[in-house]
A and B are shown apart, each in its own frame.
Chain A
Amino acid sequence: MKKFISVALVAAMTASLAACGSSSESTDTAAETTAAAEEAETEAEAAEEDTEAEADADAEAADESSDAEGGVFVIGGTGPLTGGAALYGEAVNQGAQIAVDEINEAGGINGYQVEWIFEDDEHDAEKALNAYNTLKDQGIQMFVGTVTSGPCLAVVEETADDNMFQLTPSGTTADITANPNVFRMCFSDPAQGTKSAQYIGEHGLATKVGVIYDSSDPYSQGIYEAFDEAAPEYGIEVVAAEAFTADSKTDFKTQIQKMKDAEAELVFLPFYYTEAALVLQQSKELDYAPIFFGCDGMDGILNLENFDTSLAEGLMLLTPFSADATDDLTVNFVTKYEEAYGSTPIQFAADAYDCIYAIKLAAEEAGITPDMSVSDICDAIVPAMQQIQFDGLTGAGITFDENGEPEKEPKAVVIENGAYVSAD
């Protein structure tokens, strides 16, 4: 009987291997067509008759895929779409999609349409490589990813080997931009930690500061370390530093009690808003009300479904993006995003949106065309990235230095009456 099973399994394996080999090209084109069709569908006005719109979209998709060889820029991205970090990958995918749709509507990049493909990497290094390789099989020319830092560190070496242009929207760990082909849109961890310490020190917010951080998350740990290092320089004493891990991220009472015992006047929370909401809620339960100070990961707390925003009253955060901003660019983006996906965009979505526009500008600066090879595009676009300057959602006058780091100013905001108010 066992033999029968193994025969069946072997057959299945052989079949899957064969499918992985030469036939992959045909599946790729099929995938492209469906991706293009989907894209076209989102473009189609929702008010229009469904059947008609679909027919149109199909026709459009057919047109697009027919000149797929020379006429379309294919930009790919990877990030978690399943598992605990799915929120961030989803936001990047959706933010980028909005930018791509806008660009296509306005005539594309250098006159060529743009196609956006996004693959799930499950927030894991090995899966991220698989996702990136899948994108390569689908013919991407530029790479916007990965969303999370850990997988990003593994993928950067692969993109360096391929000489693929990479712009990560949200990979914050310092080493990510070590290779010349890699740029990032967000701040690096050290930059955020130092800037937070600087802001707290220069504005005289507090001298005794406590930190709670996620020791199992490179992002949080990186910011904490940089903050800790920069603190003395700005007259800040870190009186308590307590960690939590991904495996126990619901109960913060002990950490909060420690902050309370150390008499911290300000508690620095360099992690994401989902956990921060719990910290705020449990602090209230324990009757502890210092100033809370967060980083870019804190943005989104006000839009957390069903969250009691009065808990966040007085919370300060240093963030390059806030969905409540009233400038035209942000309003336009937030409206479109809410219309398309029914939720308010978080900073990840904004970073991804800016990534696509940065690529557009750099591509125009470099004058690249889709028929160029991946490596040629990379060689042309890397110097162009250092030339461009643009106003994005995550900052005005964004430029990139030769290390691939963005130059932009974070805005300090404070939450008053359930809304962001500029703190300066």
Chain B
Amino acid sequence: MSSFLSYLISGISLGSVYAIIALGYTMVYGIAKMLNFAHGDVIMVGGYIAFICFTELGVPPVICILAAMIGCLVLGVVIERIAYKPLRGASSLSVLITAIGVSYFLQNSALIIFGADSKTFTSLISIPSISLMGGDVIISGVTIASIIACIVIVAALMAFINKTKAGQAMLAVSEDTGAATLMGIDVNRTIALTFAIGSALAGIAGVLLCSAYPTLSSQTGAMPGIKAFTAAVFGGIGSIPGAMIGGMVMGIVENLSKAYISSQLSDAIVFALLIVILLVRPTGLMGKNIQEKV
């Protein structure tokens, strides 16, 4: 029983990190309708910014997190401006490929700037861990922080989208870009704002990812990025609560299948579950089913 709980908690801990990354994916997809494959690498950059601030400059953790958020925000907006904006109106595939190019660019820049050897990240989260059942089950501070961060971000995003004018504009752009333009919404600005928010989230995700799994290299963001993207699809891409649920489910399934089925095949099992879910619910767990009109 205690081992099952431990597996579950490891799953939740991994899942909460996936969830935060997935939130960024889902924001951008929901509004700009593009698969931003470079999101994982923005997370990596966020990790490096926090690392440098903390280790080299010695500033307090809160400022490190803020710096990572702001750094990623600027990066996200710059990427959008240079690489994605010129392609607005082109086929979505062109944007996808450009995103891949940006991803390669960020990875290789990090490789050249920071070197090939990975760095050990010092956890910026100083919440103490909780020990349950006489020390058999341990919940680490980072896990607690990730879960809290996740819930707060989801609540804040929901409130932002539903209660503010800018949020409503985002919703409008995501529903119908053409109609939104006619209603006087500046689509370019709205999309840039989406990228800004999504990238700032990537900054937080970078800190949490590297605090939970304290290693940092140019490849750090790549695989978690892809998995979180899967999680976003799983939960219904475009849906904010869906991203959180998708992330959690992914993390838990990955760890439980590692524990009880096969540690070699856990990835295959997660991806197979994704396929099954999409076959049953073609737009993910929380996705809206849009009826096609003639």
Is there direct touching of A and B in the complex, by C-beta distance under 8 Å? yes
Judging by beta carbons under 8 Å apart, are B119 and A306 in contact? yes
Interface string of B180-215 (1 = CB under 8 A from A): 000000000000000000000000000000000111
A35 adjacent to chain B (CB < 8 Å): no
B7 touches A306 (CB 8 A): no
Residues B6 and A253 in contact, CB atoms below 8 Å apart: yes
* Given A250-B224, A253-B10, also A305-B117 (CB < 8 A): yes
Instruction: Please name the 10 residue pairs, one residue from A and one from B, whose CB atoms are nearest each other, closest first.
Output: A250-B213, A253-B10, A86-B116, A87-B116, A307-B120, A306-B120, A254-B258, A243-B264, A215-B264, A305-B119
Determine if A343 and B117 form an interchain contact, defined as CB atoms under 8 angstroms apart.
yes
A281 vs B118: C-alpha distance when bound (angstroms): 15
Residue A234 lies at the interface, judged by CB distance under 8 Å to chain B: no
**In the complex the two chains form, is A255's CB within 8 Å of B219's CB?**
no
User: Given A82-B111, A261-B3, are A277 and B267 also a contact pair (CB < 8 Å)?
Assistant: no
Residue A225 CB within 8 A of the other chain: no
Answer yes or no: B140 CB below 8 A from chain A CBs.
yes
Among A273-298, those with CB < 8 Å from B are 274-275, 277-278, 281, 285-287
Given A87-B116, A286-B138, A306-B121, A274-B263 contact (CB < 8 Å): no
> Does the CB pair B138–A250 fall under 8 Å?
no
- B120, A308: Cβ atoms under 8 Å? yes
Decide: B214 and A257 in contact? CB cutoff 8 A: no
A248 touches B215 (CB 8 A): no
Closest to B210 in A: A250
Per-residue contact bits, chain B 96-116, to A (CB 8 Å; 1 contact, 0 not)? 000000000000100100011
Given A253-B6, A257-B3, A261-B3, list of 14 further CB < 8 A pairs?
A: A82-B111, A90-B115, A248-B266, A248-B267, A250-B224, A251-B254, A255-B263, A257-B6, A274-B217, A278-B213, A278-B214, A281-B214, A285-B129, A343-B117
Whether A86 touches B111, Cβ cut-off 8 Å, given contacts A247-B223, A248-B267, A285-B138, is: yes
Q: Which of A80-102 contact B (CB under 8 A)?
A: 81-84, 86-87, 89-90
Asked whether A112 is an interface residue with its Cβ less than 8 Å from the other chain, the reply is: no
- Residue of B at shortest CB range from A261? B3
Determine whether the beta carbon of B3 is less than 8 Å from that of A305: no
Is A287 touching B135 in the complex (CB atoms < 8 A)? yes
- Closest CB-CB distance, A255 to chain B, in whole Å? 6
Q: Tally of A-B residue pairs with Cβ under 8 A?
A: 96
**Cα distance A248–B117 in the bound complex, in angstroms:** 19
Does B255 have its Cβ within 8 Å of any Cβ on chain A?
yes
Are the C-beta atoms of B219 and A83 separated by less than 8 Å? yes
Residues of B within 8 A of A258 (CB): 259
Q: Is the CB of B258 within 8 A of A245?
A: no
State the CA gap A304–B118 with chains docked (Å). Answer: 7
Collect the chain B residues with CB atoms within 8 Å of residue A274's CB: 118, 215, 217
List 13 contacting pairs A-B, 8 Å CB cutoff, sorted by A. A86-B111, A87-B116, A89-B116, A90-B116, A243-B263, A245-B267, A247-B267, A250-B213, A251-B255, A257-B10, A274-B118, A306-B51, A306-B121
Residue A242, interface by CB 8 Å: yes
With A82-B108, A83-B219 as known contacts, state yes or no: A251 contacts B213, CB within 8 Å: yes
Q: Considering the chains assembled together, what is the distance between the CA atoms of A84 and B120 in angstroms?
A: 16
Could you tell me if A257 and B259 are in contact, using CB atoms closer than 8 angstroms? yes
A86-B6 Cα distance, complex, nearest whole Å: 35
Interface residues, chain A, CB within 8 Å of chain B? 81-84, 86-87, 89-90, 215, 242-245, 247-248, 250-251, 253-255, 257-258, 261, 274-275, 277-278, 281, 285-287, 304-308, 343
Residue of chain B at shortest CB distance from A282: B213
**What residues of A have a CB within 8 angstroms of the CB of B255 in the complex?**
251, 253-254
Q: Is the beta-carbon distance between B55 and A306 smaller than 8 angstroms?
A: yes
Q: Which residues of B contact A90 (CB under 8 A)?
A: 115-116
Which B residues lie within 8 Å of A84 (CB)?
217, 219
Set B117, B121, B140, B217: member contacting A285, Cβ < 8 A:
B140
- Please, which residues of chain B bring their CB within 8 A of the CB of A253? 6, 10, 13, 255
User: Hey, which chain B residues are within 8 Å of A278, CB to CB?
Assistant: 213-215
**Of A89, A242, A254, the contact of B7 (CB 8 Å cutoff):** A254
Q: Is B14 interfacial (CB-CB < 8 Å)?
A: yes
Partner of A255, one of B116, B138, B213, B258: B258
Q: Which residues on A sit within 8 Å (CB–CB) of B120?
A: 277, 304-308
CA distance A136 to B213 in the complex (A): 42
How long is the Cα–Cα vector from A156 to B140 in the complex, in angstroms? Answer: 48
Most chain B CB within 10 A, of A248, A261, A277, is at: A248
Chain B residue nearest to A304 in the complex (CB): B120
Q: How far is the CA of A84 from the CA of B7 in the complex (A)?
A: 28
A286–B6 CB distance below 8 A: yes
A261: which B residues are within 8 A, CB to CB? 3
Nearest CB in chain A to that of B118: its residue: A274
Q: Does A277 lie within 8 Å of B215, measured CB to CB?
A: yes
Bound complex: CA of A327 vs CA of B3, how far in Å? 47
Q: Closest residue of chain B to A258, judged by CB?
A: B259
Which of B7, B122, B217, B264 is most buried by chain A, counting CB atoms within 10 A of its CB? B264
Interface mask (B41-63 → A, CB under 8 Å = 1, otherwise 0) = 00000000001000100000000
B14 CB to closest chain A CB, in angstroms?
Answer: 5
- Chain B residues numbered 264-282 whose CB sits less than 8 Å from any CB in chain A: 264, 266-267
CA A253 – CA B214 in complex, angstroms?
A: 13
| Distance in angstroms between the alpha carbons of A286 and B7 in the assembled complex | 11
Contact present for B138 and A87 (CB under 8 Å)? no
Minimal beta-carbon separation of B206 from chain A (angstroms): 13
Task: Provide the bound-state CA to CA distance between A286 and B136, in Å.
Answer: 8
In the complex, which of the residues A86, A89, A244, A307 contacts B263, with contact meaning CB atoms closer than 8 Å?
A: A244
Chain A residue contacts of B121, Cβ below 8 A? 306
Residues of A within 8 A of B217 (CB): 84, 274
Contacts of A215 in B (CB 8 A): 263-264
Complex CA distance for A253 and B3, rounded to whole angstroms:
11
Chain B hits for A82, CB < 8 A = 108, 111
Least Cβ distance of A196 to chain B in Å? 21
Query: How would residues 223 to 239 of chain B score, 1 for a CB under 8 Å from any chain A CB and 0 otherwise?
Result: 11000000000000000
Bound-complex Cα distance A390 to B134 (A): 57
Q: How far is the CA of A83 from the CA of B262 in the complex (A)?
A: 27
Residue of A nearest to B222 (CB): A84
- Contact at B118–A251, with CB atoms within 8 Å? no
